[in-house]
Structure 1
Amino acid sequence: MPLVVPGINSSLGDKSEWVNKLMGKKISDSTRDETTFAKTDLPKSHRIVKSGDMLTTDHDPNRLTVHTGDDGTVQNVTYG
């Protein structure tokens, strides 16, 4: 199995870039402001999962996964 290193093997860039953009913000359909990030600005290959959601086990190193809390605030950002 090949080694996958976000930012090197991924076409999405460095994970820290997305962490800086998203952490602590809420995801909205189209609103953009200091506390909200628009879904339309996320990469084409992404998924938003809430705490406790079931996830598929397929691994896609080019998919951004945005983990949110029950209130919709971004708590973590990963690739896969």
Structure 2
Amino acid sequence: MPLVVPGINSTMGDKSEWVNKLMGKKISDSSTNETMFAKKDLPESHRILEHDAMKTMDHQPNRLNIHLGPDGTVQDVNYG
């Protein structure tokens, strides 16, 4: 039986959906295509984490974290 924690698991989206949409792409200010994904198409609660950048350690279960690699492409996606 899967673990269900009220307020965490029940309100989060599916990570795999965002992995499929974002992995290997760069984040763009305006357009979405095969190599870019527009910021305007991301969920309202998100943050883009540049490679080796400092970040806060606050946990927000509904926030999509987009981790960029050194070349600016998406390397990982998670919630928190």
Normalization by structure 2: what TM-score? Answer: 0.86
- Runs of 5+ consecutive residues of structure 2 not aligned to the other structure: none
Counterpart Cα distance in 2 of 1:46 and 1:9: 14
Residue 9 of structure 1 deviates from its aligned partner by 3.2
- Runs of 5+ consecutive residues of structure 1 not aligned to the other structure: none
Tell me, yes or no, if structure 1 residue 16 matches structure 2 residue 16.
yes
- The residue identity in structure 1 corresponding to 2:72 is G
SS at match of 2:24: coil
- The residue identity in structure 1 corresponding to 2:74 is V
Normalization by structure 1: what TM-score? Answer: 0.86
Tell me, yes or no, if structure 1 residue 25 matches structure 2 residue 25.
yes
Identity of matched residues, %: 64
Say what the alpha-carbon RMSD is for the aligned residues.
Answer: 1.4
Larger Cα-atom Rg: 2
